[in-house]
Structure 1
Amino acid sequence: MSFILGQIITGVRDVYSLRYSELASSTIVVFDHLITLDDEIELVWKSSWSIGKMLFIINRYYTLASVIANNRVLFGPALSTDVSLHFFRWQGWTGLFAAMIAEIILQMRLYALYFLDKKVLRMMVAAFIATSATSAAIMGVVLSKITVAVVPLPVIGPFCAPVKVPDYFYTFWIPILSFETLLCFMAITKGIQTFRTSGPLFRQGRQLVGILIRDSIVYFFVMFATYLTCLLVWVLGTRDMLEIPIGFSVAMSCVLGNRVILNVRAANRDIAELESKMAGSKHHTTDPLDGASTWKQVISKQSQRIRISSRPVVDRMEEGEVLQDDHIDTLTDIEMEQLRTMRADTPTDSHQGFIVI
């Protein structure tokens, strides 16, 4: 009798823990939506359509829809076993989908940090596909084996719980953690290279580059802690606790992924305003980098200058290169401000290169 009573108490406690954790993660998502709504309208909805805008909308509103659905199921009347089984499967795939969307956003930012380097892009995409496919395979196998049992509980009533969950389900998080570690290493490496460089490119462009690096590193540490917590809960917790960390992983992926986009767009807006003021005060002529030039072409031009200027002065003099007092890596104000923008909006000739969101 005492054993049965203990099982009932444990079941009730787990259900309330699940409900309160889902309510807490939902609060994070809704609160972030409210406090960033003005930035969303100004920086996203008023901008032209781009990959970044589409990712932002999907990441923001699919997560909001999932939050509403989760709370409807957990706090509403009991569902049938078939509906509950479909809900568990949808919830599992939603966790993976949210992580993938946020990782795509971060990869595009790192691609911008590495000056649209195709080798870096290929490496990130290959690692992303490998880790995502591995996690998807684990999720698919596990969800195909899960069944649902209706557990009658006092006060709460009938409650559907997953059963026959494989012991290796926790391995789902390992590929995701591995890929997050790779992205963080790339961001830290680029940050060290950036702030060690003494050339005017990085002295003048640290504001936006710093935001990119900061958001990448902060994103990693928060998400690493979240995913690691998910892994530990799935290893050490009961099967009734499997759903508890999923809500937080989805919420944090949504919030941080959106903040990465909003922060860079806000910085881009501030820099554009500064350019406008400088152009008005100095009466500049037409910007030579506008028109047919895309952001990719600008990056290539400036990267070439950096590579040339980084060669030893002696070698350049031996080749007969004429060196001025200000050296070849000195950029004009117009070039400098144009380079700093790292346009958040879609370029006019977007077909000529990768769109940096």
Structure 2
Amino acid sequence: MSEQEAVAALHWNNNISVATITLICYEYFLLLDKEVMYVWKRPWSLMSCLYLIVRYFGLFLALLWGCWGGLLYMPQSVSYDLVVLMEWGFSVYFCFAEVILIWRLYALYNRSKLLLYVLLGLFIPIVVVLVWANIFLYSRPSAFSVIEIITPDAKYCTLSFKMGPMPAIYTSIPIVCYEIFLLVLAAAKLVKHLKDRKKLNARPNAYVLAIVHHHFVYFFLNLLNQIFLVVLWDHVSTPAMSLSELFNDTVPFILTPRLIISIWDTHAHDKCVYVSTKFEDCRCLTSPREFERHEMGTRVV
């Protein structure tokens, strides 16, 4: 890499770092009031714990990615360990995000234990694939390393890949297939739900629509994320790599907490009698739609 290319790469890295930190901080403060309302002021539950994990662990990873590389100088020896930590951390974050999707499907299918066990059983091989990929791709100096670039004006560290993108492609295939399976289950439930509601001349359940919509959004954005992760292993131009890193370092950490909050928000503004309970109790999906009339002290369906 020539000195001019190194300087251009450093500028790209710093600009992307500023954009990453700005987006993540803006998103954090944008949802803070609803987080206080739906998490900190209510009894904790499984979904509350999952939300806090993806919220703050994602915030930590995004800020670490934003600071690493050039915005804050870190020695080469430290940088390699940090990148390995961030790659493993991203996989852990992905696993928690998948657990949230599985839990949402569990709610959609009337808390079917059989479906839950099937989804978790199929998810275990995905975890094994992620562990293997992190060991093979990111934890071996023969495949991946960090190099220090020194210019007259600055010095910084950057990634260096010593193999092609094919192993990353092979790793992404089972992950994408599992995402397709989750998406098909959500779509099948939506079709059945719409048919049942049409027979009753009733409006579709807002929660079913929201959950299935989130599955579609998460699938397509995660598909893009897998593509961009593969792109990073190929020898692409600095702008393409920087934009891929911007997407990977922001969208997953913004999307998952926002999807959880949006379901809670829908639940809080509904007139269902179970609005005082946590959404993950699932009763607003499995029970008839009831409404409260406080002034009469009665309920009507």
Contact 1:184 1:220 in 2 (8 A): yes
Residues 57-72 of structure 1 aligned to structure 2 (within 5 Å): 57-72=52-67
TM-score, normalising length from structure 1?
0.69
Rate the CA distance shift 1:15–1:61 in 2: closer, same or farther, 3 A: same
* Code of the aligned partner of 1:14: A
Q: Decide whether the 8 Å contact of 1:18 with 1:244 is kept in 2.
A: no
- Aligned residue in 1 for 2:255: 256
| 1:195 and 2:190 are equivalent in the alignment | no
Aligned to 1:324: none
Contact 1:113 1:190 in 2 (8 A): yes
2:157 aligned partner: 160
Q: CA deviation at 1:210?
A: 1.0
TM-aligned CA deviation for residue 296 of structure 1: 7.3
Contact kept? 1:39, 1:262, Cα under 8 Å: yes
> Which of 327, 336, 342 is residue 289 of structure 2 equivalent to?
336
Matches within 5 A, 1:1-357: 7-142=2-137, 143-145=139-141, 146-155=144-153, 157-163=154-160, 165-167=162-164, 168-171=166-169, 172-198=171-197, 203=202, 206-237=205-236, 245-246=244-245, 248-271=247-270, 273-275=271-273, 335-337=288-290
For the residue of structure 1 that corresponds to 2:157, the secondary structure is: strand
* Alignment gaps of 5+ in structure 1: 1-5, 278-289, 303-334, 339-357
Structure 2 residues not aligned, in runs of 5+:
292-301
Which one scores higher on RCO, CA 8 angstroms, separation ≥ 6?
A: 1
CA RMSD of aligned residues (A): 3.2
Letter in 1 for 2:55: R
1:27, distance to aligned residue in structure 2 (A): 2.8
Aligned-residue offset at 1:268 = 1.8
Q: Which amino acid aligns with 2:211?
A: L
Contact 1:15 1:240 in 2 (8 A): no
| 2:207 partner letter | L
- Displacement of 1:77: 4.7
- What letter corresponds to residue 218 of structure 2 in structure 1? Y
Map Cα deviations across residues 140-197 of structure 1 (whole Å, 9 max, x no partner). 1222223333221243x22223335332452343333222222222212211121122
Deviations 1:86-117 (A, max 9, x none): 11101211221222221111111111111112
More deviation, 73-82/50-59: 73-82
> What SS class does the counterpart of residue 203 from structure 1 fall into?
coil
Aligned partners of 1:204, 1:32: CA distance in 2, in Å? Answer: 32
Contact 1:29 1:64 in 2 (8 A): yes
In structure 2, what is the Cα distance between the partners aligned to 1:151 and 1:75? 10
Which stretch of the first structure deviates more once superposed, 226-235 or 179-188? 226-235
- Distance of 2:42 and 2:28 partners within structure 1: 18
Instruction: Give CA-to-partner distance per residue, 1:192-212, whole Å, 9 cap, x none.
Output: 121122477893551121111
3-state SS, counterpart of residue 162 of structure 2 = coil
1:311 equivalent in structure 2: none
CA change 1:233–1:137 in 2 (3 A) is: same
Distance in 2, matches of 1:207 and 1:141, equals: 43
Larger radius of gyration: 1
Give the match's secondary structure for 1:68.
helix
Paired residues, number: 283
Closer, same or farther in 2 for the Cα pair 1:102/1:54, shift >3 Å? same
Q: Deviations over 1:33-62 (max 9, x none)?
A: 122111111112112111111111111111
**Closer/same/farther in 2, CA of residues 28 and 203 from structure 1, 3 Å limit:** farther
Contact 1:98 1:250 in 2 (8 A): no
Q: Write the distance in 1 (CA, Å) between the matches of 2:32 and 2:173.
A: 34
Instruction: Name the residue aligned to 2:299.
Output: none
CA separation of 1:131 and 1:70: change in aligned 2, threshold 3 A:
same
Is contact 1:85–1:147 with CA below 8 Å preserved after alignment?
yes
Matched to 1:121, the amino acid is L
Contact kept in structure 1, 2:147 and 2:157, CA below 8 Å: yes
CA separation of 1:121/1:244 partners in 2, compared to 1, >3 Å: closer, same or farther? same
